């Protein structure tokens, strides 16, 4: 009954066995290998466009490196007040940008309110030397509250940002879950919606440690600079073929969407089970694999005592995260314990 995070789950066997396949004799270092090329090609296929990509092993590295090519030390990045880059990355964006700022925006359920964004970009004045101007907008899909932006939601916010000279980053640590949930194409939820740089995650969905920083369109001009920053930050390990092999296996035959679909369905089932078991209500709409529910204190305690793992959230709710490996038994056991009051 481990619902603490999708990162506590085991790695999918297909991804693990891809490493053994990649361990085939000598290979060029630092991303010049054939698996790295194959990963890029596979991503280009999935996103239906040419693109550049750099692979790293952690979501924080992926986000911070991505932001560092979008925002100078003297600029700011607009994001949601509860965004992962603000709350959970220990100042990585500030470190990688060389002292850039995050400008926090409000919005329900982890989604940046359109009006709040509008006020921020309209007030933005890059020519006023005293204030730190916005250079980028960072969105997350799924959000930290487990909710999704639709393609239209993204398009509207990205268009607003672009119209005011900002570039757009998408934290897609759970992009697979968003795609599986929304049924829109990866392209529609990224570059066609105006995303310039996407942090495309695999680690929360069955990989060991594999996150792709994907550059689309004009942002591809930043690719050489991105590699330099990756090198300088220690994110250019020699044997990148083993990271690339994970991405190849992740994308092959739609494994990534299959796994995300499993996780999303498990979350929906868990929501229904908890509602039925103890009347638990959703604190945020359920759009993917993260469930936020209000649980009576005695239920929380009983679950904890039974060894269930989940997180008390800042808003008073409890977060349960499902993954590709969540089983019906896990869900059933949890609900049974929740019920016994």
| Of residues 66-125, those binding a copy of itself (CB under 8 A) | 73-74, 76, 87-92, 94-95, 98-102, 104
Q: Count the site residues for a copy of itself by CB under 8 A.
A: 72
> Would you give the distance in Å from CA 126 to the centre of its chain?
29
3-state helix, strand, coil in the chain (%, to 5): 45, 15, 40
CB of 207 to a copy of itself, least distance (A): 8
Q: What is the DSSP string of 131-190?
A: S--EEEEEEESS-TTS----HHHHHHHHHHHHHTT-EEEEEETTHHHHHHHH---TTTTT
Enumerate residues 37-56 that contact a copy of itself by CB under 8 A.
56
CB of 234 to a copy of itself, least distance (A): 3
> Which span sits near a copy of itself by CB under 8 A: 40-48, 179-187, 231-239, 251-259?
231-239
From 24-32, 153-161, 252-260, 292-300, give the range in contact with a copy of itself by CB under 8 A. 24-32
Q: Which stretch binds a copy of itself (CB under 8 A): 13-21, 109-117, 215-223, 277-285?
A: 13-21
Q: Which is nearer to a copy of itself, 149 or 242 (CB)?
A: 242
Nearer to a copy of itself, 189 or 266 (CB): 266
How near is the Cβ of 242 to a copy of itself at its closest, in Å? 5
**202 token code pair:** 């695999």
Please report whether residue 238 would count as binding a copy of itself according to CB under 8 A.
Answer: yes
93 vs 261, beta carbon nearer a copy of itself: 93
Residue 292 sits at φ, ψ, to 5 deg, of: -115, 115
Nearer to a copy of itself (CB atom), residue 89 or residue 171: 89
Distance CA 20, CA 127 (A): 54
Residue 82 CB-half CA count within 13 A = 18
* Measured distance CA(77)–CA(100) in Å, rounded: 8
Q: Which residues, 154 to 213, sit near a copy of itself by CB under 8 A?
A: 203-204, 208-209
d(CA 47, CA 67): 21
Residue in 149, 216, 242, 310 binding a copy of itself, rule: CB under 8 A: 242
CB of 183 to a copy of itself, least distance (A): 28
**H/E segment holding residue 14:** helix 13-22
Of the candidate residues 156, 233, 282, 306, the single one contacting a copy of itself (CB under 8 A): 233
Cβ–Cβ under 8 Å, residues 240 and 29: yes
Please give the Cα distance from 21 to 254 (Å, whole number): 19
Site for a copy of itself in 258-317 (CB under 8 A): 309
Half-sphere exposure of 60 (CA within 13 A, CB side): 12
Please report where in the chains the tokens 């089983």 appear, as a residue: 327
Least Å distance between CB 209 and a copy of itself? 4
Pick the closer one to a copy of itself by CB: 235 or 319. 235
Among positions 318-337, residues that touch a copy of itself (CB under 8 A) are: 325
């Amino acid at each position: 009954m481990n619902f603490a995070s999708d990162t506590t789950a085991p790695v999918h066997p297909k991804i693990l066995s891809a490493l053994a396949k990649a361990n085939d004799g000598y290979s060029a270092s630092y991303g010049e290998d054939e698996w790295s090329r194959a990963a890029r090609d596979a991503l280009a296929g999935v996103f239906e466009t040419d693109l550049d990509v750099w692979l790293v092993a952690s979501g924080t590295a992926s986000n911070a490196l991505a932001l560092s090519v979008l925002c100078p030390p003297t600029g700011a990045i607009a994001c949601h007040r509860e965004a992962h880059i603000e709350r959970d990355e220990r100042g990585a964006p500030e470190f990688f940008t060389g002292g850039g700022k995050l400008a926090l925006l409000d919005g329900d359920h982890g989604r940046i309110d359109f009006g709040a964004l509008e006020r921020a970009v309209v007030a933005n004045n890059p020519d006023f030397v005293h204030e730190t101007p916005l250079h980028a907008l960072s969105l997350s899909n799924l959000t930290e509250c487990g909710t999704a932006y639709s393609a239209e939601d993204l398009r509207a916010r990205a268009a607003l940002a672009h119209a005011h000279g900002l570039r757009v980053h998408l934290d897609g640590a759970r992009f697979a879950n968003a795609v599986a949930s929304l049924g829109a194409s990866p392209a529609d939820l990224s570059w066609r919606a105006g995303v310039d740089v996407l942090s495309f995650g695999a680690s929360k969905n069955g990989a060991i440690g594999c996150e792709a920083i994907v550059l689309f369109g004009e942002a591809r001009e930043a690719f050489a600079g991105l590699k330099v920053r990756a090198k300088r930050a220690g994110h250019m390990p020699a044997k990148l073929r083993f990271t690339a092999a994970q991405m190849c296996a992740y994308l092959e035959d739609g494994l990534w969407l299959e796994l995300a679909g499993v996780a999303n369905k498990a979350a929906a089932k868990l929501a229904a089970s908890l509602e039925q078991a103890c009347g638990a209500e959703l604190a945020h709409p359920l759009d993917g694999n993260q469930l936020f529910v209000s649980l009576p204190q005695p239920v929380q305690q009983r679950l904890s005592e039974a060894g269930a793992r989940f997180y008390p959230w800042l808003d008073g709710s409890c977060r349960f995260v499902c993954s590709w490996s969540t089983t019906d038994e896990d869900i059933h056991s949890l609900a049974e314990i929740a019920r016994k009051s």
